[in-house]
A and B are shown apart, each in its own frame.
Chain A
Amino acid sequence: MELTKSHLDQIKIIANSNDIYYRDIRNEWIDHIASQIENVEDDGKHFNEILEEKIEGLPPRKFQRQVLLNIHWGVMRDFFFSLFHLKNLIISLVITLVIGGFLSLFISSVQDLPFQALKTTFLIAAYGTVIFGFWKSKTRRNAQLLATVNSIFFLASMSVWVFHQDLLQLVGISPKIALYVLTFYFMVFLVSAFQMLFKKIQRLGLT
């Protein structure tokens, strides 16, 4: 069936009225529905009838939800593997030796303060990376970008909660070593997060 501009506008209106917020998902849904209709043999069926059938097969909201969920899983997997990149590990190790060395100077006099300073700085840097992502890409309507910043935000918040100095000390690690371990983890996290976000923005051509 030949698709006119008014047919296409009708499909776009449906996408908008169904709250497909992310441009990349919206465009793909529109193109898929339009391609399907174009390949329907013209047997006298009305356009609206065909459109309804095709939308039933690919409901827009469900489509957006499924795609978003899978992008998040994909990003988290990619992020997990990037934590083990040799380059990231080496960079993080160097930063850890500098920062950890500085913070450990205070550990004997004020035990908790270096840990608190480390965690606060980590969270500020992680959330700053998220803000940088939105600023650099100049959009909030790209699903891949959203999943990347969401994952960084979520994993950073979880990391501070899960990787706690008390937990490390509970298994017999001294405060000084615990400080180095935490610093190293946070640095690997930040280096990987920044690198992943920057790559994603470049790959998506959002700059």
Chain B
Amino acid sequence: MANSQLIKGSLQTIILKLLEENEKMYGYEITQKVKELTAGEIKITEGALYPALHKLEAEGLLSTEIQQVENRVRKYYRLTQNGEKEVNAKMSELKAFMENMQRIINPGLNPDYNF
């Protein structure tokens, strides 16, 4: 399983990117999607996910929508306009970081990531 500190540092980027690709998602769905995409390598804990989701909502990067699902209330998150801008900024930041890491790890290679 991937290092939890690394995941913690990238959690907001992961959330924003997933919401960019999937119009709206709820908390549990996000944990499952990450698990599915990484074949179980990355498991986002609920204790980290929900505080991050609420923080992004408080910052105005996410908006929410409430739906009644099987006798309970489900809260869906989606990107706001500011959130969409933030995805691009975060992805550029991540790309630059990964390129720099690649330079450190493999100084001979020329990294070329496509996002």
**What CA separation (Å) do A75 and B60 show in the bound complex?**
9
In this complex, how many residues of chain A approach chain B with their Cβ under 8 Å: the count is: 35
**A28 CB → nearest B CB, Å:** 5
Q: Total A-B residue pairs with C-beta atoms closer than 8 Å?
A: 82
Q: Taking chain A's interface residues, is the majority helix, strand, or loop, or is none over half, making it mixed? A: helix
User: In B56-92, which residues have CB < 8 Å from any A CB?
Assistant: 56-60, 63-64, 66, 69-75
Does A24 reach chain B (CB closer than 8 Å)? yes
Number of B interface residues, CB 8 Å?
26
Interface string of A151-179 (1 = CB under 8 A from B): 00000000000000000000000000000
Cα-based distance from A93 to B75 in the complex (angstroms) = 40
B52 at the interface (CB under 8 A from A): yes
Listed in ascending order, the chain B residues whose CB lies under 8 Å from chain A are 26-28, 32, 46-47, 50-52, 54-60, 63-64, 66, 69-75
Closest 6 CB pairs of A and B: A74-B58, A70-B51, A74-B55, A35-B28, A27-B73, A70-B55
> A residues near B, CB below 8 A?
3, 5, 8, 24, 27-28, 30-32, 34-36, 39, 57-58, 62-63, 66-67, 69-75, 77-78, 143-144, 147-148, 199, 203-204
